[in-house]
Amino acid sequence: MLIELLHNRDCPNAEATWSLLTEVADALAPDAERVRREVPTFKKALELEFPGSPTIRVDGRDLEGPLAPREPSLTARGYETGTGVPPRWLLEAALLRARPPAGVLFLCVANSARSQLGEGIARRLAPAQVRVLSAGSEPAPIRTETQKVLASMGIDASGHSSKSVDTIDPALVDTVITLCAEEACPLFLGKARRLHWGLPDPAGVEGTPVERLNAFFRTASELQRRLEVVWKPEPAAEDEAARADALRREVSAFYADAVAYGAGDGGAGPGSHGASCGSGGGSSGCCGSSSGCCSLGGTAGLAGYDARAFVKLPSGMRDTTFGCGDPVSMAELAPGQTVLDLGCGAGLDLLLAADQVGPAGRVIGVDMTPRMLEQARRNVDAAGFTNVELLQGTIEALPVEDASVDWVLSNCVINLSPEKPRVFAELARVLRPGGHVRVSDITAEDLPAWARNSLHLYASCVAGALPVQDFLDGLTTAGLEDARALSMHVYSATELESLLGTAPAATCDDGCADCDPQVGSTWQRRLIASVTGKIASVTFTARKPG
């Protein structure tokens, strides 16, 4: 077993954490290798994917389990102890997880409440082969509140009985968890690892029946929280859908804020969420860079739109545009056709398409972010088009009929989907036989793992981007033919700088941080150096067999 403590330079909690870790490891895993690493700079933190100080990993797994994607940081991690030192039980539970018990005994005085709750909850969480027992100094009738609480958790305690510790065969137990708080716990004489999780006795609570029952619930939920660290499986496939939903919600919040900022009616804009696929907010876009976009300015320029296209469009359109290409100009739209834009945002491509398909044609924009659709509605109305429909929905489950559109367009959206195979399948489903795809998107080859795990880079259209070949394979696997890249623009370092905006700066509120005001720019410089040459804007074409 490898136990690592990573902490920030000068972290005031480091000594206390290391000494606690040493004490717990001596007791529960004396032969485990222990390593202490100081993180002296933000650069080092990035390399170690360090979520904050202190970080404890047991066999590479963070004490708190899998972490959501986030930027490494030099700031303190908060724990319930209020001191920045993890609670002892959390460390103990993490070591038990890494070296699981074969037989666990919960001990308290009467074996009627806490230890019975521990036994019931552990039985439910532990794998079937683990022996779970409980006992006390003296057997006593199991409290009715214990039974009620276990029953309400769906745990059948009908087979439970109250036992004296003397009746337990020491050979069956390798781990003992004592739960007494105020009282002296019974002594277990066998050889076993010992943990003490002193919890107040709910049976000692005086008050109404409801207050007493609540005390039992509190003890049960504390035990559940701790035992889940030991036995709860890592998120499995069935949680993937929930994870995808959570990521979509993050992305949607990001773009709601970006469009509000661009529209000039609020939103934190670049520097809080940072940029979108282009800068979040027009005025801070690519102008000033050498990207050659300044004839137009903002993200729209970097995407390659012709400034002349904007002449007829509502003013401010460019400031609420977050695309990375110009798929409409690469399509051959004809009057009367039906066009679907996946992730239409504030609607620039909808307007360009609406003009080309004319009043006899139909343009449908789908986006999951209500604030974006509001902006799109304003833009469509201001431009006076009557052939545009806006639908709220996700591109993984399009609210559009089978085989109903001639063209599927999309501009810098598919990279944001956590479920890309579903998007490709949907795209093929809604196309008419012989219908076409023109999708501009960001592609990324060989990104470092830390960049792939960054939420900021995900929302900025980089971390979720596919390599070109994977994008083509996705289209082909969905049943489309003649999938090709029509154009590719590999971003220069300067372009990436404007594309990615400012990374969220580390906060320095705990005395634990290396309060470097340059942290944001250090992060960005390192990021840009490591991804330059790997990120491109590509426009793809494909066709549904006729």
Ligand X SMILES: C[S@@+](CC[C@H](N)C(=O)[O-])C[C@H]1O[C@@H](n2cnc3c(N)ncnc32)[C@H](O)[C@@H]1O
For residue 318, state whether it binds ligand X (rule: CB under 6 A). Answer: no
251, 465, 466, 472: which one binds ligand X (CB under 6 A): 251
Which range, of 287-295, 412-420, 491-499, 531-539, touches ligand X by CB under 6 A? 412-420
Q: Which single residue is written with the structure tokens 């599927």? A: 408
Q: For ligand X, what does the binding mask look like between residues 483 and 522, x meaning CB under 6 A?
A: ----------------------------------------
Catalytic residue check, 180: yes
Q: Does 474 bind ligand X (CB under 6 A)?
A: no
Q: Which of 108, 293, 324, 512 is catalytic?
A: 108
The rounded distance, in Å, linking the Cα atoms of 526 and 302 is 22
Alpha-carbon 95 to chain mean position: 25
Beta strands across the sheet bearing 55-58: 33-39, 2-8, 55-58, 61-62
Identity of residue 283: S
Tell the smallest beta-carbon distance from residue 395 to ligand X (Å).
4
- Interacting residue with ligand X among 411, 443, 498, 539 (CB under 6 A): 411
11 binds ligand X (CB under 6 A): no
Q: 493 in helix, strand or coil?
A: helix
Contacting ligand X (CB under 6 A), which of 14, 344, 352, 451? 344
At closest approach, how far in Å is the CB of 534 from ligand X?
19
Tell the smallest beta-carbon distance from residue 63 to ligand X (Å): 32
> Would residue 286 show up in a list of annotated catalytic residues for this protein?
no
Which one of 89, 106, 197, 255 is in contact with ligand X (CB under 6 A)?
255
- Please give the DSSP secondary-structure letter assigned to residue 441: E
The residue annotated as part of the active site, out of 185, 286, 293, 324, is 185
The CB-of-321 to ligand X minimum distance in angstroms stands at 4
* Least spacing, CB of residue 378 vs ligand X, in Å: 14
Contact 29, 98 (CB under 8 A): yes
Measured over the CA atoms of residue 133, residue 134, residue 137 and residue 142, the dihedral's sign is negative
Considering only residues 345, 435, 464, 520, which one is a binding residue for ligand X as defined by CB under 6 A? 345
- Closest to ligand X by CB, 89 vs 322, is 322
For position 413 contacting ligand X by CB under 6 A, the verdict is: yes
Stretch near ligand X under the rule CB under 6 A, chosen from 11-19, 103-111, 153-161, 342-350: 342-350
Q: CB under 8 Å to 344, separation ≥6 — which residues?
A: 350, 365, 366, 367, 372, 373, 376, 390
The size of the interface with ligand X (CB under 6 A), counted in residues, is: 27
Residue selected from 285, 297, 323, 435 as contacting ligand X according to rule CB under 6 A: 323
Candidates 35-43, 51-59, 112-120, 251-259; binding stretch for ligand X (CB under 6 A):
251-259
Q: Kindly state the DSSP code that residue 414 receives in the 8-state scheme.
A: G
Residues 239-267: b if buried by 16+ CB within 10 A, e if exposed: eeeeebeebbebbbebbbbbbbbbbeeeb
321 binds ligand X (CB under 6 A): yes
CA dist 9 → 38, 61, 72, 504 (Å): 6, 22, 15, 21
Cα separation of 106 and 178, whole Å? 6
Tell me how far, at minimum, the Cβ of 411 lies from ligand X, in Å. 4
Spell out, one character per residue from 121 to 160, where the chain touches ligand X: x when CB under 6 A holds, - when not: ----------------------------------------
End-to-end CA distance of the chain: 59
Q: Which of 424, 403, 409 lies closest to 339 in space, CA to CA?
A: 409
Smaller CB distance to ligand X: residue 172 or 253?
253
> Is residue 252 close enough to count as binding ligand X by CB under 6 A?
yes
Burial of 107 (0-12, 13-18, 19+ CB in 10 A): buried
Q: Is 108 a catalytic residue?
A: yes
Residues 347/388, Cβ–Cβ less than 8 Å: yes
Map residues 267-286 to x or -, x wherever contact with ligand X holds by CB under 6 A.
Answer: ---------xx---------
Active-site annotation, residues: 108, 180, 185
Q: Which residues bind ligand X (CB under 6 A)?
A: 248, 251-252, 255, 276-277, 321-323, 343-345, 348-349, 367-369, 372, 394-396, 411-413, 416-417, 461
